[in-house]
Amino acid sequence: MAKSRFPHSFAHPRYWSTWLAIGAMYLAAWLPWRVKMGLGKAIGLAAWRLAKRRRRITQTNVALCFPEKNDDEQRRLVKEIFMANGIGLIETATGWCRDAEDCRHRVASVGEEHLARAEAQGKGVLIVGVHFSTLDLGGALHSLFFSADAVYRPHNNPLFDRFMRRARQRNFGQLIDRYDLRTAVRRIKAGHSVWYSPDQDFGREASVFAPFFGQQAATIKLTMKIARLTGAPVVPLMFHRNPDNRTYTVEWLPALDDFPSGDDVRDATRINAFIEQAIRTHPEQYLWLHRRFKTRPEGEEKLY
């Protein structure tokens, strides 16, 4: 007898809301594009009004990172961030539930030669990305140009995690748990490209402090460790939704030279400088809703 596609436990009532969410994502993925954008903005505005804790986190991040903006400009940016991240949910549904080819006409590429040149060295490549709201659609569209593995965080809900992994595996070669350094190194040494985003706070022990938007930010050392263990070139990747809300740009930058240098703070500063450069292009599309400055240097008060 053939095995069931899903474990019988997923029929339990505790998963019914997850099934509804998955069904809603499939439906959203096939809406007309203009309707998708409108729905995403509406979701974002609802979150902006109702998710008070996330709004406070976002307001804190914006105040820290954009002190040159006055109060009205900062409030406007916070609202735009929520709308962009609402759209990002619909983009995620599109990236997970539709074939990437359906969106080929919506993406322009810049700097393909940089990743191609890095891959031609035969050492594998570490692709350094950024947590934009467009991340999962970006992964799907990236697959139209290059194949890559991806480092990811498993979801706590086992049903949603299974759905997410199956969706992402359509666009990536292999999914690698963010704590599975051994597999990431092995895949790169085997000649694969691995996409990894080092712009979240993993705590004091895993990090060094380096400047980010003028603030000291706990910056994970894993980027340098992987590069050191593999000898692979490190290629920065940017991905944005364009102002027309209909098209996207994926851009690879030249591989970092003299990286890693042996000085983790210096190298973390370079990584953060790239991430800041990418964010300033479209600051509303970054995931400012997360506590980027959660871990503070000794003696500093908590920010959130």
Residues contacting 102, CB < 8 A, separation 6+: none
Residue 154 lies in domain: 16-285
Identify whether the C-beta of residue 10 lies closer than 8 Å to the C-beta of residue 159. Answer: yes
Count up the domains in the chain and report the number: 1
Query: Which two three-digit tokens encode residue 277?
Result: 């450069």
* Residue 108, SS3 per DSSP: strand
Whether 227 shows a pLDDT value over 50: the answer reads yes
- Structure pTM? 0.93
The CATH number that applies at residue 215 is 3.40.1130
Q: Which amino acid is at 206?
A: A
Report the distance separating Cα 61 and Cα 84, nearest Å.
16
Whether 1 shows a pLDDT value over 60: the answer reads no
Q: Which amino acid is at 235?
A: V
* Residue 234, SS3 per DSSP: strand
Average the pLDDT over 240-251 and give the result: 96
Identify whether the C-beta of residue 97 lies closer than 8 Å to the C-beta of residue 206. Answer: no
Q: Is 206 left (phi over 0), alpha (psi -120 to 50) or beta?
A: alpha
Average the pLDDT over 43-58 and give the result: 98
Q: Per the domain annotation, does 138 fall within a domain?
A: yes
Q: Per the domain annotation, does 115 fall within a domain?
A: yes
Sign of CA dihedral 4, 9, 12, 18: negative
Burial per residue of 47-84, b for 16 or more beta-carbon CB atoms within 10 angstroms, e otherwise: bbeeeeebbebbbbbbebbbeeeeeeebeebbbbbbbb
Residue 5: the pLDDT is: 66
How buried is 284 (Cβ within 10 angstroms: 0-12 exposed, 13-18 middle, 19+ buried)? Answer: buried
* Distances in whole angstroms, Cα of residue 9 to Cα of each of 13, 164, 194: 9, 18, 33
pLDDT digits (tens, 9 = 90+) for 83-124: 999 999 999 999 999 999 999 999 999 999 999 999 999 999
Q: Per the domain annotation, does 266 fall within a domain?
A: yes
How buried is 164 (Cβ within 10 angstroms: 0-12 exposed, 13-18 middle, 19+ buried)? Answer: buried
Rounded to the nearest integer, the mean pLDDT of the chain is 95
pLDDT digits (tens, 9 = 90+) for 247-266: 999 999 999 999 999 999 99
Report the distance separating Cα 181 and Cα 298, nearest Å.
28
* Best CA proximity match to 112, nearest among 141, 90, 77, 137: 141
pLDDT digits (tens, 9 = 90+) for 194-212: 999 999 999 999 999 999 9
* Best CA proximity match to 239, nearest among 95, 123, 107, 100: 107
Q: Per the domain annotation, does 291 fall within a domain?
A: no
Identify whether the C-beta of residue 214 lies closer than 8 Å to the C-beta of residue 65. Answer: yes
Q: Per the domain annotation, does 161 fall within a domain?
A: yes
Q: Per the domain annotation, does 170 fall within a domain?
A: yes
Q: Per the domain annotation, does 142 fall within a domain?
A: yes
Residue 146: the pLDDT is: 97
pLDDT band at 241 (very low <50, low <70, confident <90, very high): very high
Phi, psi of 141 (to 5 degrees): -75, -30
Residues contacting 154, CB < 8 A, separation 6+: 161, 165, 177
